[in-house]
């Protein structure tokens, strides 16, 4: 029987009537999916198989007699390890991420001036970074904070790439800027606050550019994978997942880096996983230990905020390394990459 | 002296040198803001006054000798109670919200069919609702779930308004849909997942339509007010704040309704505050107790999911009241509105 | 067949072998509980029935072929609404809590001096409180903070009861103090930090005194009920549950009052539910709105910190009402108690 | 002037009157501590110096005119890095933890039978563990779960120590069991649920046994250090801190391992820091990556649940390694210990 696989298990309440079971089966049938009833002396369970899209939309909890609805299969498919066993390797310019290749992405939070960016890019290159990061459009919690240079910033990023050969990662916040961002950058970043901006996800799913997708502050690992599924489903398979800390009650760090997310994402998905210790910790002195921990836990890349003059940064100065500090951290990262049996770039 | 008010207090480390204090003062001076040093035997503190926009961007934590940077003034201004002492009253069609007027907003999660919506609208009207809600664009965690009817749904909403006289609240997810949504609806909703979609906030700040702004799942009360500030700052002063639950470790409810947010928002801001018990709880049976609690705590409105046939809903069936249940809850709400000395609509 | 009810449902992995199913059944059988296999074309499910104590200890997740283990029945029994349909009413001195009776418990955080306590008790009585609270043993996060007066404080509480007729609620922190606390007080409070101090729970389960059990900062509603089960199981059926806020990322309040816990606890358990807005909010001005909200949501009591001179309090001064303020709040509470159709005491 | 250091900074509200400042100074003076007023054109700040114990108890927030009270010094002292710059090294039997020495603690969640424990102890020894863990008293969320063997279990632990030479770590839950636990074990564990059981902390502060103190599920890093201060202040300086995951919204792991706590604790305190990946993750397959991450981040030890037959364990079977798996993980741990330049034991 070509029934597809079980998507869902419905557990009926103790004492559910035959009529209530029948009404559930009618709903399934009217939706064109299959229900298989298993009854023992003490419980009735209905296994549901068929089109995932259809099953996901059924209002089963609202039916009388239904106790619990238990999804059996994961709510994502294309990004799952079951769908593709081997690691996805994404090659950008001359370097790669995933499948034994580790990315070291460094650069300032915001592109501020041409001088600042060129200096940062040179320091990133000198320290051994494999990609350059820098924001031209900045999501800022306060409307009174610096909002980024826009297209002018994108042009500077392209110039920095030309000067150093480093591919450029930059954030997209608005689907109306997609053309500009895709034109000037090598990897499009979706920020934590936009992880569930589904219009933006669909939009970047339709362009031929790798996407670095940051986990939302309150997003579960499963929701991150569902957000990635939005992108892949539109045709763009080159998605890099990024753990950058979640919001918890702890205030000693800006966010709580969920280090367990690294092995769990690697287990559940074939996509590469990068860690951003700068945003997670919000503190310069935690960047090195968290970078090493992330690699030890299996990360495919590290993304670090670095600024030629942190004390003059227009944003995130307190968490940006200076070039000298970056160089020291990058050397330790390179050592750890060797220890785990991988290679940089 | 026209110095404006103190925006920030910098506390220097014990043992900070005179030179370190000097460097901080130079930064302040180069940015055109004022610093006032207070030194006692045991500590040095610098009060900072001047343009809020400028001060917010200074990388003070990165300066040597700085121990803590303490914002004194709130990071929002136009939405604050200090800025306007009296409650903002927003009038939409014939009814109002804020300043003693309570809104009762009801309707289905999604617009599904013309019949479903017209039936829901009639039931909302009959139950005493003052506005109709319904989604034409739906943010869905899974890309495989129903995504909404789009413009066709907007047209149905306009038809339901014509039939019942109830103003219509509907969600905007993409700045590219702004014209359509503003044309067909009376209040534009910004959903929880887009609370920090700053492009969208700026966009709705520029139209002549009230905005219902939902608190993000991981957003603090302060961040909600800053998001509102984004809108008001663009010129649109008609913002309704909406508490709809935050994400915590508790799984007995879909989200944890932060009831304290109601009196705190009323204290800190002049904007009206609405509570959405349906999304907070995710359970039909909690809608009544949470609605009454919200009003008792000072809320200016209640927003309830109601569906003519919850067991057939394409989304949120488990948390939607049926018309009969809605009628009973609405009657209790009306009683409580009287008890707190306010009026519906 | 005297099988008892299904306690658990085991869902086998797709492709689990017959041998794997057999091994699980052997484990169940060796433990003396029953397993009922249901197999459809696409999934195998095992329903488990028998002694709850035994089933809870089985290491089923560690067995090969097992996909998920789903508890069907609640992990508590004696405190559940299924076990007893009618509300438990607890009568202490002349007043009651539960089943239409609302308690208003007021008094200082700590017993500090005889004068302070007698003044507080008189103000509680005058304002309409039905019980007096006051701590003789204080759990303090910092070892350098005031730790309470101990037995001397207990004696003062007994004196205050004699003077006012109000029953006394006080906290127990150490099983070695149980005799003293039980001798001098009418209700034994278990604080939030000790909610899972299982030795303490067992100890108070063996005395003839009602227990007020506070929810832990990170405890789920289910865990609170399991903690109550520890007490009831030892023979003490007079347990009052207390919601006092949970720890979340929000910092505007000391803790986040989980108002939804009130109707959920009332639904799942027959025990009375009291709300402590003082500890939840940590702010004097939130005590009134949160008290009213709690009653509107169905609470059976309110517990308020009140101090004759909050500005001199040795602990929790910032969240304690003064007698005048308490009187105003108590009057509103009395009004709301009438509105919900209940009576004070 | 022998004033001690500033403990606190009081920031007065804009517009606070001279009288309000005066009242605060009087309170300070009556408490025997010093206040130093700094006034600039725009703000008044009072620095407070004196006895920490006294200052911590002052109800300053309740005073009129006070805007914010900002503790300057940490609320702990004896455990802080400022108090002792060099790492505390704790030697137990022949092995050490802290200051370049890494502990590998392994063993079953609960002592179940003599055979099980002896087998586990032999496997721990063979795999390279430096200490043996095992619970004789078990904190269980459900009163219906296995509660431990008590003194009989302690005797078995002593026998396992005699057989293997491994020092024994076991949990204390009740001050009344202190003598027994101190007699039979080498390190006394305080579990996460008892981290703020202050009576228990004081009790173990008075015995001559090292204490392994686990972080509470909802405890901040600062609160963990304050709990350690409770112990050290009683005279017992040999405290080992243990990060074991905090409670967050993420459900993919049992708890969220807060990896950043490792470098932060090392920075703020001289005490050794151990990580328990088994309880944090709740999943066997995460033990290796999280152990390596913890060491890379600077941990002084790893604590792993291992059971000779996980599928027969009476508790935590799903997160216990079998001896073969433990041996593989221990070998990787040994490698990483070398990489970070430390030694096992």
Per CB-CB distance under 8 Å, the chain D contacts of A297 are 289-290, 292-293
State pLDDT tens for residues B32-57: 888 878 776 556 778 787 777 678 77
Mean of all residue pLDDT scores within chain A: 90
Q: What is the percent of chain A where pLDDT is above 70?
A: 94
Q: What is the pLDDT of residue C72?
A: 60
Query: Is C260 in contact with B290 (Cβ distance < 8 A)?
Result: yes
pTM: 0.88
State pLDDT tens for residues A90-121: 999 889 999 999 999 999 999 999 999 999 99
Q: What is the pLDDT of residue A1?
A: 27
Which helix or strand (DSSP H or E) is residue A46 part of? strand A44-49
Q: Encoding tokens for residue B107? A: 């309707």
- Tell me what ipTM this predicted complex has: 0.88
Contact A105, A132 (CB under 8 A): yes
Mean of all residue pLDDT scores within chain C: 90
| A311/B contact by beta carbon, under 8 A | yes
Q: What angle do CA C81, C84, C90 make, to 5 degrees?
A: 100
Q: What is the pLDDT of residue C180?
A: 94
Contact C6, A42 (CB under 8 A): yes
Task: Cite the residue boundaries of each domain of chain A with CATH code 3.30.70.1140.
Answer: 6-71
Nearest to D311 among C63, C146, C230 (CB): C63
Per CB-CB distance under 8 Å, the chain C contacts of A82 are none
Lowest pLDDT segment from C23-27, C56-60, C238-242, D231-235 = C56-60
Q: What are phi and psi of C175, to 5 degrees?
A: -55, -25
pLDDT band (50, 70, 90) for residue A5: low
Per CB-CB distance under 8 Å, the chain A contacts of D280 are 260
Mean of all residue pLDDT scores within chain B: 90
| A91/D contact by beta carbon, under 8 A | no
Nearest to A218 among D249, D281, D294 (CB): D249
Task: Cite the residue boundaries of each domain of chain B with CATH code 3.20.20.70.
Answer: 90-344
Residue B4 has pLDDT above 70, yes or no: no
Q: Give the right CATH number for D90-344 from 3.20.20.70, 3.90.1150.10, 3.40.50.300, 2.160.10.10.
A: 3.20.20.70
Give CA B53 to chain center in angstroms. 23
Q: What is the mean pLDDT of residues B104-114?
A: 94
Tell me the residues of chain A between 157 and 196 that have a Cβ less than 8 Å away from chain B.
Answer: 173-176, 193-194, 196
Residue ranges of the alpha helices (H) in C52-192? 52-56, 114-127, 151-164, 178-184
pLDDT band (50, 70, 90) for residue B6: low
Q: What is the pLDDT of residue B318?
A: 73
Least Cα separation, residue B114 to chain C (angstroms):
34
Q: What is the pLDDT of residue B1?
A: 27
Least Cα separation, residue C174 to chain D (angstroms):
6
DSSP-assigned states of every residue in D171-222 = E---GGGHHHHHHH-SEEEE-GGGTT-HHHHHHHTTSSS-EEEEPPTT--HH
State pLDDT tens for residues B221-233: 999 999 999 999 9
Residues B274, B214: Cα–Cα separation, whole Å: 9
Q: Which residue has the higher pLDDT, A319 or C168?
A: C168
Name D80's bridge partners.
D269
Residue C2 has pLDDT above 70, yes or no: no
Q: What is the mean pLDDT of residues C256-282?
A: 96
Q: What is the mean pLDDT of residues C44-69?
A: 78
pLDDT band (50, 70, 90) for residue B187: very high
Query: Is D41 in contact with B1 (Cβ distance < 8 A)?
Result: yes
DSSP assignment letter at A345: -
Reference D34, options D44, D46, D23, D18; nearest CA is D46
Lowest pLDDT segment from A73-87, A273-287, A297-311, B296-310 = A73-87
Kindly give, in sequence order, each residue whose CB lies less than 8 Å from that of residue C152, ignoring residues fewer than 6 positions away: C136
Least Cα separation, residue D203 to chain A (angstroms):
28
Residues A64, B337: Cα–Cα separation, whole Å: 33
State pLDDT tens for residues A51-95: 776 787 787 877 888 887 876 656 788 999 988 999 999 999 889
Helix, strand or coil, per DSSP, at residue D115 = helix
Query: Is A260 in contact with D257 (Cβ distance < 8 A)?
Result: yes
Q: Which residue has the higher pLDDT, D193 or A47?
A: D193
Contact B7, B55 (CB under 8 A): yes
Q: What is the percent of chain C where pLDDT is above 90?
A: 67
Tell me the residues of chain C between 2 and 21 that have a Cβ less than 8 Å away from chain A.
Answer: 3, 5-6, 9, 11, 14
Q: Which residue positions in chain D have pLDDT lower than 50?
A: 1-4
Q: What is the CATH number of domain D6-71?
A: 3.30.70.1140
Residue A11 has pLDDT above 60, yes or no: yes
| D334/B contact by beta carbon, under 8 A | no
| D297/A contact by beta carbon, under 8 A | yes
């Amino acid at each position: 029987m070509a029934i597809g696989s079980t998507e869902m298990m419905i557990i009926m309440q103790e004492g559910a009537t035959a009529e209530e079971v029948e009404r559930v089966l009618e709903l399934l049938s009217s939706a064109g999916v299959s229900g298989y009833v298993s009854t023992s002396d003490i419980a009735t369970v209905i296994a549901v198989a068929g089109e995932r899209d259809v099953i996901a939309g059924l209002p089963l909890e609202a039916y009388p007699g239904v106790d619990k609805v238990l999804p059996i299969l994961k709510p994502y498919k294309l990004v799952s390890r079951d769908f593709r066993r081997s690691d996805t390797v994404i090659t950008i310019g001359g370097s790669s991420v995933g499948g034994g290749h580790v990315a070291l992405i460094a650069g300032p939070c915001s592109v501020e001036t041409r001088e600042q960016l060129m200096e940062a890019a040179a320091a990133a290159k000198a320290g051994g970074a494999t990609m350059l990061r820098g924001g031209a459009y900045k999501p800022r919690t306060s409307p009174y904070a610096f909002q980024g240079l826009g297209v002018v910033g994108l042009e500077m990023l392209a110039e920095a790439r030309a000067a150093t050969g480093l591919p450029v990662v930059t954030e997209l916040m608005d689907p109306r800027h997609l053309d500009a961002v895709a034109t000037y950058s090598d990897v499009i970043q979706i920020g934590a606050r936009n992880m569930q901006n589904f219009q933006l996800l669909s939009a970047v799913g339709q362009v031929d550019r790798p996407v670095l997708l940051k986990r939302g502050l309150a997003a579960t690992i499963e929701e991150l994978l569902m957000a990635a599924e939005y992108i892949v489903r539109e045709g763009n398979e080159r998605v890099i997942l990024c753990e950058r800390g979640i919001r918890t009650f702890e205030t000693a760090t800006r966010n709580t880096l969920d280090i367990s997310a690294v092995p769990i994402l690697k287990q559940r998905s074939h996509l590469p996983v990068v860690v951003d210790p700068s945003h997670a910790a919000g503190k310069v002195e935690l960047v090195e230990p968290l970078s090493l921990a992330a690699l030890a836990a299996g990360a495919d890349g590290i993304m670090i905020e670095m600024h030629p003059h942190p004390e003059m940064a227009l944003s995130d100065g307190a968490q940006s390394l200076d070039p000298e500090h970056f160089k020291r951290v990058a050397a330790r990262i390179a050592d750890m990459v060797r220890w785990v049996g991988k290679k940089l770039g």
